[in-house]
Amino acid sequence: MLLEQVEPHRFVPAQARPFVLLGEFIAKQLQLCVQLAIGLVIALAHLVHGLCFFLAHVGLRWWLCSLSSAAYHRQAGILFVQLREGPPGG
């Protein structure tokens, strides 16, 4: 079956056909390795993008909650001071 793949190379001497087959095999394996490497790089890029998006979402949520919490505590502190000092003008 492999010799049939070499048939288009009619100019190749019979002694060189095994080397041509080996070269074609190596080229195909190299092509598959390059495709795999490109696929892994793309998958890694998607993973990093998703992780950054997730961390940004969590960070934004934490930041907004901390702002809300700070505002709540500030408002509660003002209310506490007002209750301790009594009503204004009184």
pTM of the model: 0.52
The secondary structure of 2-51 as a DSSP string is: HHHHHTT-TTS-GGGHHHHHHHHHHHHHHHHHHHHHHHHHHHHHHHHHHH
CA distance 84 to 37: 69
pLDDT tens, position by position, 64-73: 777 777 777 7
Q: Which two tokens stand for residue 54?
A: 């997730």
How many residues are present in the chain? 90
Over its C-alpha atoms, the chain yields an Rg (Å, rounded) of 35
What percent of the chain lies above the pLDDT cut of 70?
76
Q: What angle do CA 7, 10, 16 make, to 5 degrees?
A: 85
